[in-house]
Structure 1
Amino acid sequence: MDTPTMEVTALFPNQSSESCGGESSTENVIFGVYYILVFLLALNGNSLALWIFSRQRGISSPANVFLLHLAIADLSYIIILPLRATYHLTGGHWPFGEVPCRVAGFLFYVNMYASIYFLACVAGDRYLAVVHAVRSLKVRRPLYAHIASFSLWALVTVSMAPLLVSQQTSEVDGMTVCRQLYREKASRSALISLAVAFTPPFVATLSFYLFIIRSLRRGTRLEPALKLKALCTIGLVLFIYVVCFLPYHASRATYILAYSHPGISCQSRRRLMLANRLTSSLTCMNGALDPLVYLFGAEKFRGSLKKLFCRDKAGVSGATSGELKGTHESSLSAKSEF
């Protein structure tokens, strides 16, 4: 994110802000409606998940701990989506003032990188459960997962804290814009931060899941149904990375490298800014997709959903849940926590 230094009209005196950077009315309507839809889907899914997690007497596995923190991260960002929708539906004007703009940008990055790291933690826990089921029993404890989670929260929060103390709004053509929604920072230092924040968890997640797939192909004691569930979990998490996170970071890298190039045209700058806004909007979709990860990745979450929506079969569901819990307590069944 960038402390504003000059307006678009000052950057490009021969071009209007509409042609060089401002959103068209069609773009604003599309973005506004999109954020409202994502808000409704993500709010319902993650509120339900958090309610289910909070009603459980004990979180039985590290994966459930990481998924609980992932739900909290999603809700912390979902609450500002109506502000983003309002910004676009009012024609690219930010009516809320400086502090909400700072908070919106801060929560955007905190949620995105907290989600990326918690998904990496889930992948690491799945790797230990499948590939090193017995040897990892002493390490895979909920207490350790909570310690790791709070450490990640502290790391991400401190890293993004400068956004709360730097100027984030400016006046462009008589309208107040929030820089994170209008034009993000395009410095080379931002490129380094981008690589450091995204590359390690992405590579770790991809590596963990490739090792799991190799282990499943070689043959494990997992039943076919559990193998399928494991592969579905892996596919879903990688899908979230490919759709929600990878496009944004690829677009941001291109934007940073090309935006300040002296030979680039105003129209090319506008396309770069539009691509940055579009891929930025995709990142919040992870809040609507993460509840599917809870469904596949948390045993108690599935059991609670069955009891919630199939109350007439609560007895059967409870018995099944008890059997699965008993199986989990053996060392070999640590592999079945998908």
Structure 2
Amino acid sequence: MDHSNCTDVDRLMTRYFLPVSYAIIFIVGLVGNVTAICIYVTKLRPWRSSSIIMVNLALTDLLYVLSMPFLVHYYSTGDWTLGDFMCRFVRFGFHFNLYGSVLFLTCLAVFRYVVVIKPLRAAQVQQKFWGIIACAAVWFIAAAEIAPMLSLISLEKRDNETRCLDFASTIPVDDVRWYGWLLTALGFFLPLVVVFLCYIGIVKELARGPYTSSPCRVRARRVTVLILVVFVVCFLPYHVLRVLRIESRRNVEHTACLVDRIVHAAYVVSRPLAGLNTFFNLVLYTLSGDKFRRAFLSTFYWDYRLTKAQSLIRVAIIKARQAA
């Protein structure tokens, strides 16, 4: 394969795949998270600690998707026209809210673990105080994790176009390598280990303890499983491929062109995949409790329609049995 074909692999992905993917994430995430926040604010008061974490998670996802239009315009045109400050701000916001989501999901897994393992402390854990403390800690830690990125993100002028480089493409590569490893280890893999241990503890407790089918414990298991799925499906590929992207750039002289382009293309695919956690989070709000589900249905009068449909089905079944 010649050099020109080699370099076209990731350019096509960046030009066509990213704008479409980010546009879909923006539309679904904006509508879903605005709806979720409105339901929590208007229909689910007073809040418990888990509700406070959920609202902050929805707010984090909302801020995350609000950066999408800038990226859609940039990747569809190939030229960044908003200046250095906006480039740094958008990239910072993208990662800040991504790692905020990671930490909020970890908090939810820990809270569910406490509910199952220490049921006598469930009422204490659900107090607003603990939700406020957890959310304040998450915002602070996420800001501390991503703050160095403000000085690392840079613009690049090439072929009469200005490019807002993503974190893994920042020049020079050595400036981001160790920070990238540190962010991956502490910002993702450490929370992943915590979530996995919570899942193992919940499964073991439900396997041996009484009342394993109680609604509270079933919800705790479902929520923890969903969080683990988000970590593995959405966040894991992104972090692994980001490390590979940085390492391939660092050893570009010893890396075949095609291999380098394929690694970059895979990394490009993983970025919207990480953003799909906003879709899973919308499901998480429903699984977290029946109150949100009922409030959601009542908001759009679906509860009335479902009740009416169920009544019609029962009548039809009774008539069919009588006719038989």
Shorter-chain TM-score: what band?
Answer: 0.7 to 0.9
| Matching of residues 233-312 of structure 1 within 5 Å | 233-261=223-251, 262-310=253-301
Aligned to 2:319: none
Look up the SS of the partner of 1:116 in the other structure. helix
| Residue of structure 1 aligned with 2:140, choices 128, 151, 154 | 154
User: In structure 1, which of residues 170, 174, 193 is the aligned counterpart of residue 160 of structure 2?
Assistant: 174
For 1:205 and 1:233, the matched residues in 2 are separated by 11
Give the structure 2 partner of residue 67 of structure 1. Answer: 54
Unaligned segments of structure 1, at least 5 residues: 1-13, 317-338
CA contact (8 A) 1:240 1:289 kept: yes
Q: Which moved more, 1:105-114 or 1:220-229?
A: 220-229
Deviation at residue 102 of structure 1 after TM alignment: 0.8
Give secondary structure in 2 for the equivalent of 1:170: strand
Contact 1:64 1:297 (8 Å CA) reproduced? no
Computed over aligned residues only, the root mean square deviation of the Cα atoms, in angstroms, reads 2.7
Matched, 1:40 2:27: yes
Q: In the alignment, residue 81 of structure 1 is paired with which amino acid?
A: M
CA contact (8 A) 1:64 1:298 kept: no
Deviation at 1:219, TM superposition (A): 3.8
1:114 to 94, 100, 118: 100
In structure 2, relative to structure 1, the CA distance for the partners of 1:60 and 1:203 (3 Å cut) is same
Select the structure with the greater relative contact order (CA < 8 A; seq sep ≥ 6).
Answer: 1
Name the amino acid aligned to 1:116: V
Which amino acid in the other structure matches residue 196 of structure 1?
L
* Aligned-partner residue type, residue 271 of structure 1: I
SS of equivalent residue, structure 2 residue 254 = coil
Contact 2:297–2:303 (CA under 8 A) maintained in structure 1? no
Kindly report which structure 2 residues correspond to 1:113-262, keeping only aligned pairs within 5 A, or say none.
113-166=99-152, 168-180=154-166, 183-184=169-170, 185=173, 187-223=177-213, 228-261=218-251, 262=253
Alpha-carbon distance change, 219 to 27 in structure 1, aligned in 2, over 3 angstroms: same
Take 2:48 and 2:54, find their aligned partners in 1: how far apart are those partners? 10
Structure 1 CA distance for aligned equivalents of residues 257 and 238 of structure 2: 21
Deviations 1:154-186 (A, max 9, x none): 221133223334552111222111111782455
Q: Which residue identity does 1:137 align to in structure 2?
A: A
How far the C-alpha of 1:22 sits from its partner, in A, is 8.1
Distance in 1, Cα, partners of 2:8 & 2:247: 17
Q: Tell me the TM-score normalised to structure 2 length.
A: 0.83
Tell me, yes or no, if the aligned pair for 1:70 and 1:118 is still in contact at 8 Å.
Answer: yes
Decide whether the 8 Å contact of 2:145 with 2:183 is kept in 1.
no
SS in 1 for 2:162: strand
CA offsets, 1:224-256, max 9 Å, x none?
Answer: 666554443233222211121010111122233
Match of 1:103 among 89, 93, 104: 89
Write the letter of the residue equivalent to 1:300.
K
TM-score, with normalisation over the residues of structure 1? 0.80
Q: Quick one: percent identity of the two aligned structures?
A: 26
The residue number in structure 2 matching 1:5 is: none
Name the CA shift for 1:182/1:265 in 2 (closer, same or farther; >3 Å): same
Post-superposition Cα deviations, 1:247-296, rounded to whole Å, max 9, x if no partner, equal 01111222333431241122222222222222122111111221110111
Give the match for residue 82 of structure 1: 69
Larger % of helix: which? 2
Paired positions, count: 300
Deviations 1:303-333 (A, max 9, x none): 211321336649x9xxxxxxxxxxxxxxxxx
Residue 89 (structure 1) shift? 1.4
- Matched residues in 1 for 2:303 and 2:56: separation? 31
